[in-house]
């Protein structure tokens, strides 16, 4: 057992001091100021003239005044820290003991990422869909469902946490509809559901349960708008190494009658690159009208994640949404939040 515990300084709200101290100092610098040439004495603030033949310039006088003010603030902060810890003077801790106390401190920083993906389209090459998915069934024209596959390139890595993931769909403007906010007769509502395929869509799996529901929204069809559906659980599964089998979007009216999803939502547009940087503008709230200047209104998968790393780069840790942590090589259950 180490003879000296690692102390953590906690300042109460009543003792918060805001100081403007030039330079970069740690709490050790304040408790052991002799390492930086800081004295415990505060020099008098009055300025006396000397008998030297060389007069003191105004710049030198201001420099000395700033130095005395800096030393006084550092001295006050040092005394405040000692009083908070209940000490009259810093304890005598050897350099070896300091290294032992501080070696386990792991300063970390968090990198935030926002990545978006376009869905695979029927006109693209056969590489747009994995071989374990039946291409003819996936793009079946007679289906009322909208099937979406995103080639997610994000891989599992230490410190990675999926903070949110949404499937954004753009609702078409209704034909021959003079839709206004106060015109209830000209509006209709529908229920949109998104499913995750847990087994690939193939001929031999057609009659088996192979998908699970992820999110459901009740949407008012009164003009151009976007709908966001949470698919976070599915993305966490894919990042953790499970097979990516895509999504299916189904639409029903309020009478539970099936509707053609491709008649309601904008179709998939073929793009050269499936992955792209998400727009930097603010994200509209769920169900809010979309900006008119957003030209590509194809279905989009939005993934927000964080990577927590140690500053020294020696190792990484992850921090789950429930506050649990682990080191390299530890397993992480994506279903625990």
Flag whether 5 is in a domain. Answer: no
| Whether 184 and 286 share a structural domain | yes
| Whether 32 and 175 share a structural domain | no
- Burial class from Cβ neighbours inside 10 Å (0-12, 13-18, 19+) for residue 222 reads buried
Q: Are strands 325-326 and 225-230 parallel, antiparallel or unpaired?
A: unpaired
| CA gap 170, 291 in Å, rounded | 11
Flag whether 242 is in a domain. Answer: yes
Flag whether 336 is in a domain. Answer: no
Flag whether 335 is in a domain. Answer: no
Task: Give the mean pLDDT per block of 10 residues along the chain (337 residues).
Answer: 40 39 51 52 48 76 91 91 86 82 74 89 72 88 90 82 93 68 60 93 74 92 84 93 92 90 86 76 46 66 88 46 39 33
| Whether 140 and 95 share a structural domain | no
Q: Are strands 275-277 and 108-118 parallel, antiparallel or unpaired?
A: antiparallel
Instruction: Show the tokens assigned to 57.
Output: 């310039």
User: Where among 67, 102, 137 does a domain terminate?
Assistant: 102
Domain count within the chain: 2
Flag whether 333 is in a domain. Answer: no
> Residue 245 in contact with residue 199, Cβ under 8 Å?
yes
| Whether 311 and 167 share a structural domain | yes
| Whether 88 and 160 share a structural domain | no
| Whether 29 and 62 share a structural domain | yes
| Whether 79 and 147 share a structural domain | no
| Whether 303 and 198 share a structural domain | yes
pLDDT for 18 equals 40
| Whether 144 and 42 share a structural domain | no
pLDDT for 180 equals 54
| Whether 279 and 307 share a structural domain | yes
Number of Cβ atoms within 10 Å of the Cβ of 204: 9
User: Where among 53, 84, 102 does a domain terminate?
Assistant: 102
Flag whether 250 is in a domain. Answer: yes
pLDDT for 206 equals 66
Flag whether 337 is in a domain. Answer: no
Instruction: Show the tokens assigned to 155.
Output: 């891989």
| Whether 72 and 204 share a structural domain | no
User: Where among 102, 125, 158 does a domain terminate?
Assistant: 102
pLDDT for 53 equals 62
Residue 83 domain boundaries:
13-102
Flag whether 96 is in a domain. Answer: yes
| Whether 190 and 277 share a structural domain | yes
pLDDT for 158 equals 82
pLDDT for 93 equals 82
């Amino acid at each position: 057992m180490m003879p000296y515990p690692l102390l953590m300084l906690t300042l109460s709200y009543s003792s918060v001091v805001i100081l403007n101290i030039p330079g970069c100092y740690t709490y050790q610098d304040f408790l052991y100021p002799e390492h930086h040439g800081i004295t415990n004495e505060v020099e008098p603030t009055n300025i006396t003239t000397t008998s030297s033949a060389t007069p003191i310039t105004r710049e030198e006088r201001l420099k000395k005044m700033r130095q005395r003010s800096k030393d006084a603030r550092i001295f006050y902060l040092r005394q405040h820290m000692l009083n908070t810890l209940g000490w009259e003077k810093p304890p005598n801790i050897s350099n070896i003991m300091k290294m032992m106390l501080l070696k386990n401190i792991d300063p970390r920083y968090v990198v935030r990422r926002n990545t978006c993906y376009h869905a695979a389209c029927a006109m693209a090459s056969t590489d747009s869909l994995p071989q374990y998915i039946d291409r003819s069934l996936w793009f079946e024209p007679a289906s009322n469902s909208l099937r979406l596959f995103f080639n997610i390139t994000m891989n599992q890595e230490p410190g990675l946490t999926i903070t949110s993931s949404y499937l954004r769909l753009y609702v078409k403007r209704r034909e021959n509809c003079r839709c206004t906010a106060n015109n209830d007769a000209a509006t209709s509502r529908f229920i949109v559901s998104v499913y995750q395929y847990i087994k690939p869509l193939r001929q031999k799996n057609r009659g088996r349960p192979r998908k699970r529901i992820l999110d459901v929204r009740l949407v008012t069809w009164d003009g151009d708008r976007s709908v966001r559906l949470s698919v976070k659980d599915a993305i966490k599964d894919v990042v953790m190494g499970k097979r990516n089998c895509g999504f299916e979007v189904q639409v029903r009216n309020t009478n539970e009658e099936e509707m053609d999803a491709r008649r309601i939502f904008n179709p998939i547009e073929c793009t050269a690159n499936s992955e792209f940087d998400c727009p930097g503008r603010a994200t509209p709230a769920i169900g809010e009208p979309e900006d008119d200047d957003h030209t590509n209104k194809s279905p989009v998968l939005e993934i927000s994640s964080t990577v927590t790393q140690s500053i020294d780069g020696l190792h990484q840790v992850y921090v789950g949404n429930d506050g649990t942590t682990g080191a390299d090589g530890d397993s992480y259950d994506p279903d625990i939040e």
